[in-house]
């Protein structure tokens, strides 16, 4: 490349040879004022400019209304999706203060919507408990909106102000009289910022329902008025998080072991905690924790306190009633099998780790929750011996399965050690051993595996063919995985084990690529593998190691000129291009399976890093992912049928 610098020969003396236009001096220091930092680096404030960041805007505004409810001044919140993807949020709280701010010299409401880190949640008694602690929510939404309008009702006057991309030309003004109080915010996300401004009804419904569960007695009215087919939901749960647990079991088709949800709550000073839990007949656990209504996906001191105390209580119960032999002990994984629990704490000063608020760090919360669970759960078990027996028997069965898994694991290791090679016999390994470079293709069938082996780059690409349907781990405990002839080759090839022994540092390949046919059987195999990774090797997905290969569906060709099409639309486009407006005959080959492609074609279309297309599997919301895997791969037919009926419209042409 012209004017390039050879890195091997570059030294400090060469700096003088660089064009002066690249100089770095005081003139290059840019000061971002007002809301400019938000528009310059939106990802720092809302995580991304994709769909997740777009929906986060709604969350920020709704959180302000929820905080009014926590303070005891708001009972109803209306959230409307309007034509043009405009969002309108109204509440019957106190209304944002409208007086002149003593320092800024403008209305306090204007300050809230135009100044970062401004709000009533830093002290001063406005809010004892609040989810929006950083004071950036309202102003960030304003900065990232094409336009935003606030209407404030203070019991006497109606106040109004309009903003364009965070800027305003007119001050807050009185536009009428009123005897009600509250705040209405209406905004349109900026298409210059976001990749899409199309809101997903189901995403917002899930978020709003979650908030209604966490705040018993609050009524959230949600409506989608973007077209004539208006959707409306009233979210109101007097039972709070108890109904949250019931909702999870119902939507996922899980059978609860006992009729009642166990509910625990307590207070220590200004700190409050409530926990709802119930066991079901599955082999997986789900613990969802919150601090001041903010979901903490990475847990924290409140969740750790619950987990530790749960294990301790069930062990003490077993010893007290001689249900455990001397020396026997239930582990955390035993007592959590089949558990669904909601852990919610509310406190005056949350210490979240990072802007994303993923983990609660308050050290005083752990002993508070531990003591609360220790006392109240033990009392419940003693007063409800029938439910206690169901829970304890479930934990003991899990303990036995864990011991069986340990034996199966040791047997599998002995077999591996005695075999001539520790790696699976069908694995065609690569020569490179650095997992920064290496990748493994898990391929459906021997014929496709043969093409992949011949077409690959042997230096960094390994091929592992699979044959037949593998175990659905959603319906089996971990002891059934060891020795399974379909899954163990995958475990052995990856090298990082599974379950509590999983060690990401031992992963042999940086990319784990599932390559299956583009048909129903291929989709099933992909889903079974993803379920396995999600349940027993989740960090593989969380750290971005799992991919889905995208082989082409069609080869469109005339003479020596050929195109590969991945969609029907691409196929039609290439036919038109090659046919010369329909006068020339064009051949179309439909690939029914990977085995129909020769090694050269498979390399060019699906395996060559320079030309291939792959889907990277991520877990944006682990709770939602857990729900989908439970519904699709679990025992119950009704929830799966409902899911398919509700989502069939999103599936394109299906080739069976």
Q: Which residues belong to the active site?
A: 444, 517, 519, 521
Q: Sign of the CA dihedral 592, 595, 599, 602?
A: positive
Distance CA 193, CA 190 (A): 5
CA 419 to chain centre: 41
String of DSSP letters for 435-458: TTT-EEEEEESHHHHHHHHHHS-T
**Nearest to residue 404, comparing CAs of 499, 469, 532?**
499
Q: Determine the Cα–Cα distance for residues 535 and 245; give it in Å rounded to an integer.
A: 21
Summary count for the chain: helices (H), strands (E) = 19, 21
| Cα 630-233-210 angle, rounded to 5 deg | 50
Helix (H) or strand (E) holding 426: none
Rounded CA gap, 253 and 162, in Å? Answer: 47
Place of tokens 């455990």: 324
Burial (CB count within 10 angstroms: exposed 0-12, middle 13-18, buried 19+), residue 272: middle
What is d(CA 216, CA 265) in angstroms, rounded to the nearest whole number? 13
Which residues make Cβ contacts (< 8 Å) with residue 70, sequence separation at least 6? Answer: 127, 128, 129, 130, 131, 215, 292, 293, 346
- Sole residue written with tokens 């000129």: 561
Cα–Cα distance measured from residue 641 to residue 632, given in angstroms and rounded to the nearest whole number: 9
Q: Which of 619, 460, 630, 648 is nearest to 544 (CA)?
A: 619
B/e letters for 429-444, b = 16+ CB within 10 Å, e = fewer, are bbebeebeebbbbbbb
Residue 144: CB atoms within 10 A of its CB come to 28
Are 235 and 209 spatial neighbours (Cβ–Cβ below 8 Å)? yes
Whole-number Å distance between alpha carbons of 642 and 211: 24
HSE-up (13 A, CA, CB side) for residue 19: 5
Q: Which helix (H) or strand (E) holds 533?
A: helix 520-536
Going by the DSSP 8-state scheme, the letter that residue 13 receives in this structure is G
Q: Which helix (H) or strand (E) holds 521?
A: helix 520-536
Neighbours of 170 (CB within 10 A): 9
| Cβ atoms 563, 573 nearer than 8 A | no
């Amino acid at each position: 490349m012209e004017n390039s610098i050879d890195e091997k020969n570059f030294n400090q003396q060469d700096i003088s040879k660089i064009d002066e236009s690249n100089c770095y001096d005081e003139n290059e220091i840019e000061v971002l004022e007002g809301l400019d930092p938000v528009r310059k680096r939106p990802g720092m404030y809302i995580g991304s400019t994709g769909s997740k960041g777009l929906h986060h805007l709604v969350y920020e505004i709704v959180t302000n209304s929820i905080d009014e409810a926590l303070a005891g001044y708001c009972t109803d919140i209306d959230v409307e999706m309007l034509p043009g993807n405009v969002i309108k949020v109204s509440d019957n709280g106190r209304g944002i203060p409208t007086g002149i701010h003593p320092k800024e010299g403008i209305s306090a409401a204007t300050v809230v919507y135009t100044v970062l880190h401004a709000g009533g949640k830093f002290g001063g008694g406005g809010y004892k408990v609040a989810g929006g602690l950083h004071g950036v929510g309202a102003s960030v939404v304003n900065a990232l909106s094409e336009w935003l309008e606030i209407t404030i009702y203070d019991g006497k006057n109606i106040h109004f102000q309009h903003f364009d991309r965070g800027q305003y030309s007119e001050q807050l003004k009185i536009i009428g009289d009123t005897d009600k109080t509250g705040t209405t915010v209406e905004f349109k996300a900026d298409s210059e910022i976001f990749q899409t401004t199309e809101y997903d009804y189901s995403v917002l419904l899930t978020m709003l329902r979650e908030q209604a569960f966490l705040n018993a007695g609050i009524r959230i009215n949600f409506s989608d008025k973007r077209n004539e087919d208006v959707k409306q939901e009233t979210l109101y749960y007097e039972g709070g998080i108890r109904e949250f647990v019931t909702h999870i079991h119902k939507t996922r088709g899980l059978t609860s072991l006992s009729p009642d949800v166990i509910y625990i709550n307590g207070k220590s000073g200004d700190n409050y905690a409530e926990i709802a839990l119930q066991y079901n007949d599955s082999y997986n656990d789900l613990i969802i924790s919150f601090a001041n209504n903010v979901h903490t996906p990475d847990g924290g001191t409140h969740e750790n306190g619950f987990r530790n105390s749960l294990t301790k209580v069930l062990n003490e119960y077993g010893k007290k009633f001689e249900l455990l032999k001397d020396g026997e002990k239930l582990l955390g994984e035993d007592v959590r099998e089949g558990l669904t629990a909601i852990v919610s704490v509310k406190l005056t000063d949350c210490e979240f780790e990072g802007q994303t608020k993923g983990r609660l760090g308050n050290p005083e919360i752990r002993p508070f929750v531990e003591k609360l669970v220790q006392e109240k759960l033990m009392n419940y078990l003693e007063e409800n011996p029938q439910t206690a027996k169901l829970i304890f028997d479930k934990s003991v069965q899990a303990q036995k399965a864990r011991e069986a898994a340990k034996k199966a694991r040791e047997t599998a290791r002995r077999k591996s050690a005695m075999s001539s090679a520790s790696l699976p016999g069908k694995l065609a390994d690569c020569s490179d051993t650095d997992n920064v470079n290496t990748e493994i293709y898990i391929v459906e069938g021997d014929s496709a595996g043969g093409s992949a082996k011949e077409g690959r780059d042997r230096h960094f690409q390994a091929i592992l063919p699979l044959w037949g349907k593998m175990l659905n781990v959603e319906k089996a405990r971990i002891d059934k995985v060891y020795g399974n002839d379909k899954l163990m080759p995958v475990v052995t090839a990856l090298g990082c084990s599974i379950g509590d022994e999983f060690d990401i540092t031992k992963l042999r390949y940086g990319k784990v690529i599932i390559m299956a046919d583009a048909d129903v059987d291929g989709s099933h195999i992909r889903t079974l593998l993803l379920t396995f990774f999600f349940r027993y090797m989740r960090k593989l997905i969380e750290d971005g190691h799992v991919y889905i290969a995208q082989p082409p569906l069609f080869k469109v060709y005339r003479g020596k000129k050929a195109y590969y099409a991945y969609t029907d639309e691409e196929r039609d486009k290439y036919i038109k291009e090659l046919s010369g407006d329909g006068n020339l005959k064009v051949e179309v080959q439909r690939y029914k399976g990977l085995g129909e492609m020769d090694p050269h074609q498979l390399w060019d279309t699906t395996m060559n890093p320079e030309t291939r297309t792959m889907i990277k599997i991520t877990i944006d919301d682990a709770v939602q992912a857990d729900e989908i895997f439970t519904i699709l791969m679990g025992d119950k037919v009704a929830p799966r049928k409902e899911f398919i009926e509700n989502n069939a419209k999103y599936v394109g042409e299906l080739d069976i």
